[in-house]
Homo-oligomer: A and B are copies of this chain.
Amino acid sequence: MEAPSAGAQCPCGRQSGRCEGRHRVVIVGGGFGGLYAALSLRREPVHVTMIDQRNFHLFQPLLYQVATGGLSPANIAAPLRAILSRQDNACVLLAEATGIDAEKRQVILSDGAVSYDTLIVAAGASHHYFGNEHWQPLAPGLKTVEDATEIRRRILLAFEAAERTFDADKRRAWLTFVIVGAGPTGLELAGTLSEIAHDTLKRDFRHINPADAQILLLEGADRVLPPFPSDLSAAAAAALSRLGVTVRTGAMVTDVRLDAVTIRAGEATETISTHTVIWAAGVKASPLGQVLADARRPCAEARRPCAEARRPCAEARRPCAEATGAELDRTGRVLVEGDCSVPGHPDILVIGDLAHHAGADGKPLPAVAPVAMQQGRYVARLIRARLRGKSLPPFRYRDRGMMATIGRAAAVADIKGLRVTGYPAWLAWLFVHLMYLVQFENRQLVFLQWGWSYFTRNRAARLITGESPLPLDL
């Protein structure tokens, strides 16, 4: 990219005429928040630049299906360019946003910079190992496509290794699967693993019975699904138990090694032999949160339109005013105003998992897709209102309920206080995910594949790919 460091790129590069005079909206992150913001701006007189490190939007709620061989990555991912291809006021930049220069109103890329008038930061979150980041290679989390195929690889290789080990203890260790964290993702993984062991692989091995697999779900709190009403937690725990999953609440992981995990429950300490640990315990906001914490107020010079931005702003080298960085919460999320903006920076909006947005009860809104989607739509409306010199009441989350699926035809849901369990909840879960997925071209195929694997109990995508898996380290 030419002359990246000297000045900022106009979002649409050298293609003349596109951005001139238009309000430039730059969106960092093509997840639910960023994508819904971009789509909601399609009729507005703005120029939208979507920046993402990946060339696709990922439907994360179904990522566990990839990790367990039920779906292929492409089934739950849609190329960002394809989604936005017919939106003429939008362009996509495959790039990594490494910083934000709030003074110059620029997003710093690893190989350039892009100027904005309004910035939407929707960079999401990654795993949090609570200071034990060295556990990451031993206990991968589930955030990216690569995470999912790596977890799939480990699960399938564990069964293969068990098949080839004749030492009873070693075999038991290979057939022990530990999932840390009993939130929705942990439950989905545990439930699906149980299906794999009991149904999918039933006839596949000759020396082991896959149903002997022990699936352990660890949770630090005193019940599964801590944010849910306690009767739904109890229903979920009962469903897990029916599936043969062992739930251990009040259990903290104190060590993860290549062949074991150590937990502390109350006073007691226990070491469990296992080779497969999956981390579904905590998330940490994107490092762009910290970047915003260090941000400075924009200088007057930098407010000039597009053409001017190409020469370095004289003011930029010294602070124009007091540093007015954002405040972060414990997990690195940015505390935002009611309208999703960063205090002191009305032109920077933070949405989705990166935002700490106080709900009606004062508690932060949960880090779930519906919040991000609604915030994405809200900030689009906010930008439209501002362009017309108007303002908008603060963002209010319309909570349509919480749900978690546990396995075939088992789920729990809290829909506006109506608590549903079992098959009806599972149907509701399916319906909601179907509703959102069908917005993508070609997504119908997921449901065919899904329906197929539901009725046949087969999981077609159980491939061991990636790094050469051999020799097995038995």
Report which A residues bind B (CB closer than 8 A). Answer: 1-2, 12-15, 18, 53-56, 69, 72-75, 77-79, 81-82, 85-86, 91-96, 109-111, 145-146, 149, 156-157, 160, 163-167, 201, 203-207, 441-442, 445, 448-449, 452-453, 456, 458, 460-466, 468-472, 474
A328 to B462, CA, bound (A): 37
A464 to B15, CA, bound (A): 26
Q: Which residues of B contact A203 (CB under 8 A)?
A: 85-86
B111 and A77 contact, CB distance less than 8 A: no
A54 to B472, CA, bound (A): 12
**Cβ 8 A contact of A55, one of B2, B441, B464, B468:** B464
A-B residue pairs in contact (CB < 8 Å), sample of 13? A55-B462, A56-B464, A72-B74, A73-B463, A74-B463, A81-B204, A85-B203, A91-B206, A94-B164, A96-B470, A442-B453, A442-B456, A445-B448
A110 and B442 contact, CB distance less than 8 A: no
Closest chain B residue to A462, Cβ basis: B79
Q: Which residues of B contact A56 (CB under 8 A)?
A: 463-464
A204 to B85, CA, bound (A): 5
A54 and B464 contact, CB distance less than 8 A: yes
A441 and B458 contact, CB distance less than 8 A: yes
**Cβ 8 A contact of A452, one of B13, B72, B442:** B442
A471 and B96 contact, CB distance less than 8 A: yes
Q: Which residues of B contact A445 (CB under 8 A)?
A: 445, 448-449, 452, 460
Closest chain B residue to A74, Cβ basis: B461
B12 and A206 contact, CB distance less than 8 A: yes
Q: Which residues of B contact A92 (CB under 8 A)?
A: 204
**Cβ 8 A contact of A145, one of B160, B462, B465, B469:** B465
Q: Within the complex, what minimum Cβ distance (angstroms) separates A432 from chain B? A: 22
Interface residue SS majority, chain A:
loop
Told that A56-B463, A94-B157 touch, could you supply 15 new A-B pairs with CB distance under 8 A? A1-B165, A1-B472, A12-B206, A13-B166, A55-B156, A55-B160, A79-B462, A82-B458, A86-B203, A91-B206, A94-B163, A95-B470, A95-B472, A109-B471, A445-B452
A92 to B204, CA, bound (A): 9
Q: Within the complex, what minimum Cβ distance (angstroms) separates A10 from chain B? A: 11
Q: Within the complex, what minimum Cβ distance (angstroms) separates A422 from chain B? A: 28
B207 and A15 contact, CB distance less than 8 A: yes
A73 to B71, CA, bound (A): 11
A228 to B85, CA, bound (A): 41
**Cβ 8 A contact of A111, one of B95, B469, B474:** B474
Closest chain B residue to A13, Cβ basis: B207
Q: Which residues of B contact A13 (CB under 8 A)?
A: 164, 166, 206-207
Closest chain B residue to A14, Cβ basis: B166
Q: Within the complex, what minimum Cβ distance (angstroms) separates A186 from chain B? A: 24
A74 and B464 contact, CB distance less than 8 A: no
B74 and A160 contact, CB distance less than 8 A: no
Closest chain B residue to A78, Cβ basis: B460
Closest chain B residue to A75, Cβ basis: B72
Q: Within the complex, what minimum Cβ distance (angstroms) separates A307 from chain B? A: 17
A74 and B1 contact, CB distance less than 8 A: no
Scoring A55, A441, A458 by chain B CB atoms within 10 A of each residue's CB, the highest score goes to A55
Q: Within the complex, what minimum Cβ distance (angstroms) separates A156 from chain B? A: 6
Scoring A91, A109, A461, A471 by chain B CB atoms within 10 A of each residue's CB, the highest score goes to A471
Given A15-B206, A75-B72, A145-B463, is A472 in contact with B164 using a C-beta cutoff of 8 Å? no
Q: Within the complex, what minimum Cβ distance (angstroms) separates A17 from chain B? A: 12
Closest chain B residue to A453, Cβ basis: B442
A164 to B4, CA, bound (A): 11
Given A2-B167, A463-B74, is A472 in contact with B204 using a C-beta cutoff of 8 Å? no
Q: Which residues of B contact A18 (CB under 8 A)?
A: 206
Q: Within the complex, what minimum Cβ distance (angstroms) separates A36 from chain B? A: 20
Closest chain B residue to A166, Cβ basis: B14
Q: Within the complex, what minimum Cβ distance (angstroms) separates A193 from chain B? A: 17
B156 and A205 contact, CB distance less than 8 A: no
Closest chain B residue to A170, Cβ basis: B2
A111 to B56, CA, bound (A): 40
**Cβ 8 A contact of A448, one of B69, B81, B448:** B448
B461 and A72 contact, CB distance less than 8 A: yes
